[in-house]
Structure 1
């Protein structure tokens, strides 16, 4: 039994080493795409082509994982196992090549990169379970087989999820915008709870007086009227910033996204700004906790990023929008700026 298993063990080792090397490459921040062959240089694959190749190779891996799960049912079929592993060496090699062609920048490229990483990590765990199953004595064969099936299910699940990869850069950005909207909603809810914590905090002081004098968590100290007012005004400022991101999300919705907002350079610019929006929400919420000493800096960041994003939308409309779109967006941004200035004035007056 042991000698017959050697070819399979060797193939598992080759596959595992390939996965390890590829994962290390994909995780390097300064990674460069692989060089194309002379034939490919004349007609390099598009990012859409790479995406489709990656998905096809992942589906092929999932299929062979199923075959291995069947081959390792007692009595183990060594010939079937070895044949399937040989197929996987070829398929994984194609996946690795496709992944190495990915550009370093771009939201879609990064999502494909993450998907390949997640898939290879799940596949590596499956390879480990193959080795454990082959080496398991009869007393632990069932446990090894159960682990093999669990790791196979993980591969199937990851590959199924990968089929939802965005088809283009716009779709990838919209997924990011949707995530940021969710994060901002969480921040806004946290800020709302802060503003409502005054009475609860006061009651808590009465109940717990003397029990924990060192407890200075937010909510254990009642808010002053000024602090409460700042929270209300800052909540409105962040909600207005969220409206900008939501504007992008709704105006690019299928089936007819506004051409003004689909240009690659516009998407690249908004990506940076929206990423900053997602970071500053937590910063603003933290700055609102008493004594609110860092609130001014956090608010200035919100105002700065919001205005940059508004100008980015404005410029996109001016350059690529129809007259109807220009009119609608100009009016919308005018109302938005008026509400922002009102909220800022309220905050400054406190």
Structure 2
């Protein structure tokens, strides 16, 4: 067997190993959690980082050894063997992670990074396999330069995964990153509402009073769908009473004002959870399973908020607004229950005794998170949502037919 034939066999094996590793990663969530062989997350992630570095270096060597213009098959054989070994080791390394010990959110982030890297590695291997199998006819021109593009893409993915914004160092870091993404999406929705109102305001300002008032709606945001609000709808969005209001317009105004309060409170609540609870490094961190469940509530809150904002677009439907408000309230109630993990019951005798100071010792520091603030915020969201879905009684004279 010639060196070229050996290289073709080795590349084929490497490609199949990548496929097997990708299949193992994809099916990991469909099988029972493996028994943890080690609980040291630092060691596991350090080994994974070393493997990624080795793949980076070996892929560079492979690109030099199998350069289409002058391939050196004998020199590439040990490099291909090493790449195959590193690929199998990555799948084994990730299999050491356990959701209870290390966190489900972290595992998903590690799996995602490993998946895109292995897919890029397989593409590199397949490129060299095609070049070796088809002969010199495609070794020149654009086809022969594909290996450079794909090797560069692999290098970029590995560099990103090993960087500060790549694989998180622990589960709470992974959760904070996802939480910030949800918060950014909430802020984007509020900004779109502001831009939509400002755009409509420019064409309707001559017909409405109070356009220059700062009522706080610039922080809410509705995306411009191309439809223009009429005077009554714009007045409801800006919390201004229409000059010729009907009962229906007054009903819409009542709903819009309540929706505005709900969205403002829930966005603020989401931000305070990130700053006061997740990013403050509590002394007793909740278990990973509870933190992963909390992140699911963040995703649900974002989805429900998007639906509620969408219900404000013209033509407005009060039944849809109420339905989406109730859905958001359900998410908020579930989130309230989840937050109990950060505020354990301090009424037990043991905890009271542990909080007492002994002469010569300093008293425990006050926790950063303010449970009272969160309770009040949740209470205000509930009250505002209740007002929204309650039967609305318009002010005297609104909607009444003239005699």
TM-score of the superposition, structure 2-length normalised? 0.71
Query: Where in structure 2 are the equivalents of 1:103-182 lying within 5 Å?
Result: 103=98, 106-134=104-132, 135-137=134-136, 140-163=139-162, 164-182=166-184
> Cα distance 1:3–1:279, how it changes in 2: closer, same or farther (>3 A)?
same
Q: What's 1:238 paired with?
A: 263
Give 1 or 2: higher helix fraction.
1
Q: What's 2:51 paired with?
A: 57
> Cα distance 1:231–1:260, how it changes in 2: closer, same or farther (>3 A)?
farther
Q: Deviations over 1:78-126 (max 9, x none)?
A: 1111121011121112112223344467100111111111111111111
Task: Provide the C-alpha distance between the structure 1 equivalents of 2:271 and 2:186, rounded to a whole number of angstroms.
Answer: 11
Equivalent of 2:344 in 312, 315, 318: 318
Task: Provide the C-alpha distance between the structure 2 equivalents of 1:336 and 1:100, rounded to a whole number of angstroms.
Answer: 41
Query: Where in structure 2 are the equivalents of 1:212-231 lying within 5 Å?
Result: 219-222=227-230, 224-225=232-233, 228=237, 229=253, 230-231=255-256
Task: Provide the C-alpha distance between the structure 1 equivalents of 2:202 and 2:226, rounded to a whole number of angstroms.
Answer: 11
Q: How many aligned positions are there? A: 329
The answer to whether structure 1 residue 25 and structure 2 residue 19 are counterparts is no
Residue 175 of structure 2 contacts residue 292 of structure 2 at CA under 8 Å; is this kept in 1? no
Q: What's 2:373 paired with?
A: 332
Task: Provide the C-alpha distance between the structure 2 equivalents of 1:223 and 1:238, rounded to a whole number of angstroms.
Answer: 23
The answer to whether structure 1 residue 91 and structure 2 residue 133 are counterparts is no
Tell me how large the CA RMSD over aligned residues is: 3.2
- 1:240 Cα offset (Å): 1.6
From the CA coordinates, give the structure whose radius of gyration is larger: 2
SS in 2 for 1:76: coil
Task: Provide the C-alpha distance between the structure 2 equivalents of 1:186 and 1:71, rounded to a whole number of angstroms.
Answer: 49
Q: Deviations over 1:255-304 (max 9, x none)?
A: x5123554435413312211211221221122222233421121112223
TM-score of the superposition, structure 1-length normalised? 0.80
Query: Where in structure 2 are the equivalents of 1:291-306 lying within 5 Å?
Result: 291-292=316-317, 293-306=319-332
> Cα distance 1:92–1:34, how it changes in 2: closer, same or farther (>3 A)?
farther
- 1:131 Cα offset (Å): 2.0
- 1:30 Cα offset (Å): 4.4
Q: Deviations over 1:36-56 (max 9, x none)?
A: 6xxxx7x53544443332222
- 1:68 Cα offset (Å): 0.8
Q: Deviations over 1:222-266 (max 9, x none)?
A: 363475244454243123212222222212566x51235544354
Q: What's 1:279 paired with?
A: 303
> Cα distance 1:249–1:142, how it changes in 2: closer, same or farther (>3 A)?
same
Task: Provide the C-alpha distance between the structure 2 equivalents of 1:159 and 1:81, rounded to a whole number of angstroms.
Answer: 21
* Structure 2 gaps, min length 5: 206-224, 238-252, 352-363, 395-403
Task: Provide the C-alpha distance between the structure 2 equivalents of 1:33 and 1:68, rounded to a whole number of angstroms.
Answer: 37
Q: Which moved more, 1:296-305 or 1:310-319?
A: 310-319
- 1:146 Cα offset (Å): 2.1
Task: Provide the C-alpha distance between the structure 2 equivalents of 1:337 and 1:252, rounded to a whole number of angstroms.
Answer: 15
Residue 111 of structure 1 contacts residue 165 of structure 1 at CA under 8 Å; is this kept in 2? yes
Task: Provide the C-alpha distance between the structure 2 equivalents of 1:34 and 1:223, rounded to a whole number of angstroms.
Answer: 58
Residue 133 of structure 1 contacts residue 148 of structure 1 at CA under 8 Å; is this kept in 2? no
Task: Provide the C-alpha distance between the structure 2 equivalents of 1:314 and 1:168, rounded to a whole number of angstroms.
Answer: 22
Task: Provide the C-alpha distance between the structure 1 equivalents of 2:39 and 2:287, rounded to a whole number of angstroms.
Answer: 21
- 1:200 Cα offset (Å): 6.3
Residue 108 of structure 1 contacts residue 168 of structure 1 at CA under 8 Å; is this kept in 2? yes
> Cα distance 1:31–1:282, how it changes in 2: closer, same or farther (>3 A)?
same
> Cα distance 1:235–1:70, how it changes in 2: closer, same or farther (>3 A)?
farther
